Structure 1
Amino acid sequence: MVTRKVVIKNPTGLHLRPAGNLCKVAMNYKSHITFMYGQNSANAKSVLSVLGACIKCGDELEFKCEGPDEQEALDALVAAIESGLGE
């Protein structure tokens, strides 16, 4: 299992479009991918879970990846978030 914390930079947070882009990246990997936000955890492959977390600009998420391609998945997720998730 690998983990990393990342801060959301999107000015409007993770609304539908960036949440969908995050899920698309996560679904490219076989690993189980979740993130912690406060005391809650959510499935990074589920748009509803990501939207339900109500993540805003400046919020810190801790991603946890576990599986055969965990490091590649984590690196791709962090790169996608740091690039703004298409926004």
Structure 2
Amino acid sequence: MVCQKVKIKNPAGLHLRPAGKLCDEAIKYKSKISFQRGTMITNVKSLLSVLAAGIKYNDEIEFVCEGEDEEEALAGIVLVIQNGLGE
């Protein structure tokens, strides 16, 4: 299991388009990928779960990857967030 905290820098937070980009990246990996904010744990491979989390600009969330390609998955997720999730 690997984890890393990341701040969301998209001005509108994780609305439909960036949430979709995040899910698209997560689906590429076999590992279980989730993020935690407070006590809420969200499955990153589920678009509806990501949207329901209500992540806004400058929120800090902790990504957790667990599985055979966990390190590669975490690196890919962090990279796509740092690149602005398509915005």
Tell me whether the two structures share a fold, i.e. TM-score over 0.5. yes
- What TM-score, normalized by structure 1, do the two folds share? 0.99
Give me the CA root mean square deviation: 0.4
Residue aligned with 2:86, SS: coil
Distance 1:80 1:39 in 2: 24
CA distance in 2, matches of 1:54, 1:84: 17
Residues of 2 paired with 1:37 and 1:19: CA distance?
15
How many residues in Structure 1 have an aligned counterpart in Structure 2?
Answer: 87
Q: What SS does the aligned partner of 1:77 have?
A: helix
**Deviations 1:37-74, CA, capped at 9 Å, x for gaps:** 12100000000000000000000010000000000000
Give the AA of the match of 2:61. L
Query: 2:61 — aligned with what?
Result: 61
**How far, CA to CA, are the matches of 1:65 and 1:14 in structure 2?**
19
What are the within-5 Å matches in structure 2 for residues 12-31 of structure 1? Answer: 12-31=12-31
Structure 1 residues without counterparts, runs of 5 or longer: none
Query: What TM-score does the superposition give when structure 2 sets the normalisation length?
Result: 0.99
Identical positions, percent: 61
Gaps of 5+ in 2: none
